[in-house]
């Protein structure tokens, strides 16, 4: 997979955002014999402008601010907000809101089966946020299948389980330096508040 480049000059002057770049792309095991093994990604590329500020990424970024903008648009939409309630599941260790969306038809949720979805336990997996956004766009749409799903189910959605890790740019861990996906069995509320609250909600 080719890396992504964001050039501030291209964004300002030509309206170009993230784009795939690079040639001679190689991914290989490092030669140092370290355990656990390390791996290297190398490629060649030419920066588009002198004196530019550029950013590189493995996948298209999806930030905490992107999520907040998206949720503000949903809440501000008179149609989608009828099916989607947005509230705080909890606060993260850094004080960021971990959002919980409840999506169902206007008839309410009594007697309906629940479907629980979450994304971005691992901050580096930004593709998970794009997939979640695609799901939300669909399930909140006027498509006949989306209306049927809202009529039959209550969806409980945590679109970004580890916002602290996303904000600070971690790949796998939360601010504790540990993987939230390995915390469901421990139930440690102080270290993994989002995991604890999500698990408690499911157990109710």
CATH number for the domain formed by residue range(s) 64-203: 3.40.630.10
Instruction: Note whether 162 and 119 are within 8 A (CB).
Output: no
E-strand spans in 19-66?
19-20, 23-29, 39-44, 54-57
**For 64-109, how does the pLDDT look when each residue is reduced to its tens digit (9 = 90+)?**
999 999 999 999 999 999 999 999 999 999 999 999 999 999 876 6
Please choose, from the candidates 83, 19, 76, the residue with its C-alpha nearest in 3D space to the C-alpha of residue 47: 19
Q: List C-alpha distances in Å: 40 to 23, 34, 49.
A: 15, 13, 27
Question: CB burial class (10 A; 0-12, 13-18, 19+) of residue 130?
Answer: middle
pTM, rounded to two decimals: 0.88
Please choose, from the candidates 98, 76, 74, 73, the residue with its C-alpha nearest in 3D space to the C-alpha of residue 87: 98
**For 2-17, how does the pLDDT look when each residue is reduced to its tens digit (9 = 90+)?**
999 999 999 999 999 9
Per domain, the residue ranges of the chain are: 4-57, 64-203
**For 82-94, how does the pLDDT look when each residue is reduced to its tens digit (9 = 90+)?**
999 999 999 999 9
């Amino acid at each position: 997979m080719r890396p992504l480049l964001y050039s501030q000059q291209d964004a300002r002057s030509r309206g170009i955002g993230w784009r795939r770049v690079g040639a001679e792309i190689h991914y290989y095991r490092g030669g140092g014999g370290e355990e656990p093994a390390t791996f290297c990604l190398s490629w060649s590329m030419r920066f588009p402008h002198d004196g530019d500020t550029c950013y590189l990424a493995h996948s298209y970024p999806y930030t905490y601010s992107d999520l907040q903008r998206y949720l503000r648009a949903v809440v501000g939409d008179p149609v989608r907000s009828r099916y989607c309630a947005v509230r705080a599941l909890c606060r993260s260790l850094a004080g960021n809101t971990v959002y919980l969306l409840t999506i169902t038809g206007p008839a309410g949720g009594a007697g309906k089966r629940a479907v629980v979805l979450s994304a971005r336990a691992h901050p580096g997996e930004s593709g998970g946020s794009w997939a979640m956004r695609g799901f939300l766009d669909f399930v909140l749409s006027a498509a006949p299948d989306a209306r049927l799903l809202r009529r039959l189910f209550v969806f409980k959605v945590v679109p970004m389980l580890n916002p602290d890790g996303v904000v600070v740019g971690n790949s796998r861990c939360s601010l504790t330096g540990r993987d939230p996906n390995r915390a469901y069995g421990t139930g440690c509320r102080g270290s993994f508040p989002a995991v604890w609250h999500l698990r408690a909600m499911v157990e109710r």
